[in-house]
Each structure stands twice: as structure tokens, then as C-alpha cells.
């Protein structure tokens, strides 16, 4: 699929788009995705064949999360996301990007384990956070050692104090506005703001809006 000619990709995409949803069973979303992928990436992008024929298709609501295993082929098609990854220099691109930005197909294939993953495996559940003093902060804990994620969601005039974390972290607001207090200082925060929080620092968040949402990736 990744080495197919542009003519072959274009032809297969057309044939996939012409299939009936009934013939595709629980993969009927393929018919709806074909025109969308063609509009976004063109009719001859090899990545479209891999995405439609070999990858799980997932949709998410705000606040939901997944984790991607080391061998996981993945692509984000639409919407705003927060992506957090461990330090790495081995990300390989072979589709959904200009040809000049793509890595060698042989290199890409050698990096795969070809282990099959079902659609439910990467989903992450929220858990109560041991760092939250009011229960307004929850945790995402992927099954890897590099980092976890704290999520603080507040309504207007609500607050939460997050106990010191034994490691550095990066906090970023995705919606709302309010105040952040740390080390005796107070900071205005709102959507788009990003802060580095040092090891062992207690932080208090106060919301002045009904949609306060702050994500904080940390390593211990």
C-alpha cells in the first residue's frame, strides 16, 4: 500500500468510496471517510489506503484520552488535541504529509511489530488523583513509565489545591480562565497559557469561568 503508484491509490480510493455500507459491516465508516480524506490529503496519498484498510477509527469527546504503543500507527484527522510524548527522535511519517516529509517505507516497515490492536486497547480511564485536595483533579495513567497526566476541571468560583509532585511537570490551559497560586505568587491563567511547574511545588487553581480545564503532564 505504501509503495503503490498514485494511479493505483486513486483507483482504489474511488472503488472504496463506491462500495455500499452494508457490504462493509462494522467498517461502514470507510465510505464516509473516503471523500473526507481525499479533500484533506488528495486522492493519491498512500496513507489513506493504510488508514482505511488497516487502522481502527476512533472518535472522541472533550476530556477523553488514548495512549499509543511504541509500534502504533496513528493519525489525527480532525479537531484539537493535546499530544504528550516521551523524548524521542524516531517518529516516522509515511502518509498524510507532503512526499518530501516522508521517511523511507523500508525503515517504517522495519520499525513495526505487526501486532494487532483492537479499538478498545488504547482507551484510558480517568482515576481519582492522590494529589487533589478537593477531588476536582483526576489522572490519566498510561501503561508506560515516562509520564502521567493530571486534569483539573472547575466550575466558576471553584478551586483545587494540587499537592507537590516529586518531579517536573508542564501545565497548559485548554479552556476557561482563573488564577494559579504557587510559591507565594499568583498568576492569571486562561486558555492557551502554559507553565512549567518544578518538582515539589504545591499549586492552587481558582476558576473564574464555568469551563476551566487544565492539563498537566508530569514525571516522577
56 with 130, same domain: the answer is no
The domain total for the chain is: 2
pLDDT of amino acid 136: 97
33 with 109, same domain: the answer is yes
Q: Buried (b) or exposed (e) across 37-68, using 16+ Cβ within 10 A? A: bbeebebbbbbbbbbbeeeeeeeeeeeebbbe
Summarize the confidence of residues 81-100 as an average pLDDT: 82
Q: Is residue 103 part of a domain?
A: yes
Q: Calculate what percentage of the chain has a pLDDT beyond 90.
A: 71
Summarize the confidence of residues 65-76 as an average pLDDT: 85
Full residue range of the structural domain in which residue 162 is found: 126-218
Lowest-confidence range among 21-35, 80-94, 97-111? Answer: 80-94
Summarize the confidence of residues 45-49 as an average pLDDT: 94
182 with 119, same domain: the answer is no
Residues 179 and 201: beta-carbon distance below 8 Å: no
108 with 141, same domain: the answer is no
Among 76, 102, 123, identify where a domain stops.
Answer: 123
193 with 108, same domain: the answer is no
Summarize the confidence of residues 107-118 as an average pLDDT: 85
Whether residue 125 is predicted with pLDDT greater than 80 in this model: the reply is yes
26 with 112, same domain: the answer is yes
pLDDT of amino acid 69: 79
Whether residue 90 is predicted with pLDDT greater than 90 in this model: the reply is no
pLDDT of amino acid 74: 87
105 with 69, same domain: the answer is yes
Amino acid at each position: 500500500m505504501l509503495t503503490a503508484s498514485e494511479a493505483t491509490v486513486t483507483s482504489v480510493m474511488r472503488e472504496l468510496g463506491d462500495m455500499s455500507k452494508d457490504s462493509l459491516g462494522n467498517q461502514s465508516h470507510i465510505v464516509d471517510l473516503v471523500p473526507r480524506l481525499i479533500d484533506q490529503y488528495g486522492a493519491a496519498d498512500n496513507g489513506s489506503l493504510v488508514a482505511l484498510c488497516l487502522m481502527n477509527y476512533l472518535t472522541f469527546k472533550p476530556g477523553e484520552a488514548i495512549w499509543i504503543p511504541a509500534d502504533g500507527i496513528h493519525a489525527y484527522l480532525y479537531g484539537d488535541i493535546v499530544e504528550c510524548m516521551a523524548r524521542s527522535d524516531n517518529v516516522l511519517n509515511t502518509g498524510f504529509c507532503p512526499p518530501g516529509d516522508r521517511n523511507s517505507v523500508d525503515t517504517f516497515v522495519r520499525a513495526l511489530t505487526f501486532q494487532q490492536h483492537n479499538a478498545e486497547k488504547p482507551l484510558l480511564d480517568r482515576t481519582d488523583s492522590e494529589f487533589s485536595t478537593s477531588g476536582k483533579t483526576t489522572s490519566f495513567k498510561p501503561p508506560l513509565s515516562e509520564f502521567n497526566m493530571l486534569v483539573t476541571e472547575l466550575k466558576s468560583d471553584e478551586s483545587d489545591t494540587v499537592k507537590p509532585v516529586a518531579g517536573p511537570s508542564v501545565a497548559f490551559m485548554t479552556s476557561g480562565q482563573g488564577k494559579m497560586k504557587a510559591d507565594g505568587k499568583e498568576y492569571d491563567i486562561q486558555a492557551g497559557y502554559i507553565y512549567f511547574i518544578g518538582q515539589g511545588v504545591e499549586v492552587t487553581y481558582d476558576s473564574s469561568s464555568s469551563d476551566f480545564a487544565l492539563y498537566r503532564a508530569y514525571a516522577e
